[in-house]
Chain A
Amino acid sequence: MTLEDLRGHPGRRRRERIIRSVFFIAATLAILISVGIVLSLLGDTIVFLQGIDAGALVADVWQPRSGEYGLSTIIAGTFVIAVIAMIVATPLGLGAAIYLAEYASPRMRGWLKPILEILATIPSVVLGFFALTVLSPTIVQSVCPGNTPVFTMASAGIAVGILITPLIASISEDAMYAVPNNLREASYGIGATKRTTSLRIVVPAAVSGIVASLIVGFSRAIGETMIVAIAAGGVGGATFNLNPCLPGQTMTGAMTVIAIGSDAVGGGVAFHSLFFVGLLLFFMTLALNLVSEAFVRRMRKGY
């Protein structure tokens, strides 16, 4: 018997090689898509930047219709809404995560976990409608002083917070679940209460994963589009403003408004501004995702 006999039929080996390369091509598609995104964004961004004078970008008004592309306006709007979302989602998400990971009995877990899972399946258009028709007239208009408009950044921000709560809860619960039990037992052994053990032992041990969950949540809040497009206002232009009780425009919201043609007719300079805003958004979320991944890697190395 020679080595040649053990190798098997050449036809069979050829088939193996072909199948392997088919799978490989499917896998490389991800790289192709990434390159495609960057190229398609860059191309039109250059067209846009050549079509306007640089002064238009530093205006404090975002109004594509009149050629004013004040970036500070939509970046401020994006961050106001994302910060409100984090204020809502951080205590809710982390509280839910600590309860599910440390306190809930398996039976309670079976009842409580689906709440977050169902909340996670609600499409964002639905939350946008909820923000506009329910959150805005109830919570926002009773908290905000004076005559508050229907479209506010606050209502959109709260709804985005509801959207990212299940995300933050599930990632940080996983992180706390991964904390080995001997750490908890050591803590109980020296007489610590459950509360002390949760807050002083488990949370610090899982901190990388918790931080990662917050960064992912923030990144998702920045990229959230439909809630903002429905509830935050800012259609037809917005001025620089940090007050959550007023309407505002975000990067994502500005993109939808241009895309559906409320702000400009297709094909003009305003249309190309879509790609410029998209490119900024792409790099912002990419940076956040890379940072959160670094935290997750640190967590995995821990134990």
Chain B
Amino acid sequence: MAASPQALRPPQSATEAVEQAIMGQRRDWRSVVFELALLASLLIALGVLIWLLTDIFIGAIPVFQERDLVDFLTAPTSSNPLTAGIGQALFGSLLLMLFVAVLAIPIGVASAVYLEEYATDNAVTRLINTTVRNLAGVPAVVYGLLGIAVFVVLLRPWTGGPSVISGGFTLAIVVLPITVIASAEALRAVPGAIREAGFGVGATKWEVIRYHVLPYAMPGVLTGTILTIGRAFGETAPLLLVGALTGFFSVAASASVVERLQGPYTSLPTIIFSWSRQPRTEFRELTAAAIIVLLVLVLIINGLAIILRNRYARKW
């Protein structure tokens, strides 16, 4: 034992003597390396994020320097990189989000209310729950095929074929399962005592849901649904299938609202996809600029959700 590390330095106090006897003076290098390796995985993720953002930002600088920002944001798509803008794409994305908000959110919340508040544990409920979870795992591109079959082909007289109506309905179906799951989680977080208090004073089930459960669950539901919209905003694959255009198109100024809704359309991520495949450097810069706009909008949407979550976070 003469060579043991304890012998190198005499202990200064009893506590230290015990500590040295138990631990020794050697450091557990493997533990330090392990902890650093774990931290490194997070730092790599951070590094990738910074790398991505700076690279795209630098790539976009020429567009924002040479072009008027308003012109870039409003000009229609074009095969000429000097005049091409994202006006039609922004308009299309905005309309699509309107469809998602109007269709997916009410239906998603309603179905979450059924699953959490009304449903008893029976075969039908279990089937619906399993189906919702599995739908959430289906790749978005597969929903595009459903969109082709149902909205583009089957309902062509109403949707006008590959139109923003078809795209909006398809996108709403893509995000419906996540809306249901997020809303159900928010409803589950409302404690049972709130419901029992309502029933105790003679309220019906619907009255309890309407005046007690939903108001308490609303911040959670809103956060979940806003995140859903943020997700839908960047979604591209299903739209490519249901006809979002990757090139130039024009809409007659005299077109009525219905004609516009049933006519050609595109969306911001679709234009990014289309531009990113162009070999010319001017389009590289345009792609980077369009990505900056997309990221800023997604960040605003998600930021809104986070503010809501922090503001109304409630501990029971």
Contact = CB atoms under 8 A, between A and B. Distances in A.
Interface residues of B, number: 81
B188 interface: no
29 contacts: A23-B114, A23-B117, A24-B114, A28-B128, A29-B111, A30-B128, A30-B180, A34-B131, A36-B146, A36-B150, A40-B148, A40-B149, A43-B149, A92-B44, A99-B38, A115-B45, A116-B42, A119-B45, A121-B234, A122-B49, A124-B236, A125-B276, A126-B52, A126-B294, A230-B273, A230-B276, A252-B141, A252-B237, A282-B142
Contacts of A112: 42
B176 A33 contact: yes
Interface stretch (B28-36, B68-76, B250-258): B28-36
A31 B131 contact: yes
B118 A290 contact: no
A69 to B, nearest CB: 16
Given A121-B230, A126-B295, A134 B51 contact: yes
A115 B113 CA distance: 33
B114 to A, nearest CB: 4
A123 B205 contact: no
Contacts of A134: 51-52, 55
B312 interface: no
Given A12-B204, A116-B45, A282-B142, A133 B37 contact: no
Given A125-B272, A195-B31, A30 B111 contact: yes
Contact of A26 (B31, B55, B107, B234): B107
Interface size class of A (residues with CB under 8 A): 35 or more
Contacts of B241: 255-256, 259, 274
A259 B42 contact: no
Interface stretch (A55-63, A179-187, A219-227): A219-227
A223 B146 CA distance: 15
B111 A285 contact: no
Contacts of A36: 146, 149-150
Contact of B31 (A41, A124, A194): A194
Closest 5 CB pairs of A and B: A223-B139, A123-B234, A95-B41, A40-B149, A26-B110
Interface string A226-248: 10011000000000000000000
A228 to B, nearest CB: 10
B56 interface: yes
A22 interface: yes
A218 to B, nearest CB: 11
B101 interface: no
B206 A16 contact: yes
- Most chain B CB within 10 A, of A15, A43, A92, is at A92
Nearest to A196: B31
A91 B134 contact: no
Contacts of B139: 220, 222-225, 252, 281-282, 285
Interface string A1-43: 0000000100010011001101110111111011011011101
B157 interface: no
Interface of B is mostly: helix
B304 interface: no
A128 interface: yes
A166 B46 CA distance: 11
A132 B276 contact: yes
A141 interface: no
Given A16-B206, A30-B111, A126-B56, A92 B41 contact: yes
Contacts of B46: 115
Contacts of A50: none
B40 interface: yes
A260 B146 contact: no
A250 to B, nearest CB: 10
A295 interface: no
A119 B138 CA distance: 21
Given A31-B131, A118-B49, A40 B150 contact: yes
A128 B276 contact: yes
Contacts of B295: 122, 126
A96 B298 CA distance: 24
Interface in A171-195: 193-195
Given A122-B49, A133-B284, A194-B35, 13 more contacts: A20-B205, A40-B146, A40-B148, A41-B142, A94-B41, A121-B230, A125-B294, A127-B52, A129-B287, A129-B291, A130-B56, A216-B137, A290-B134
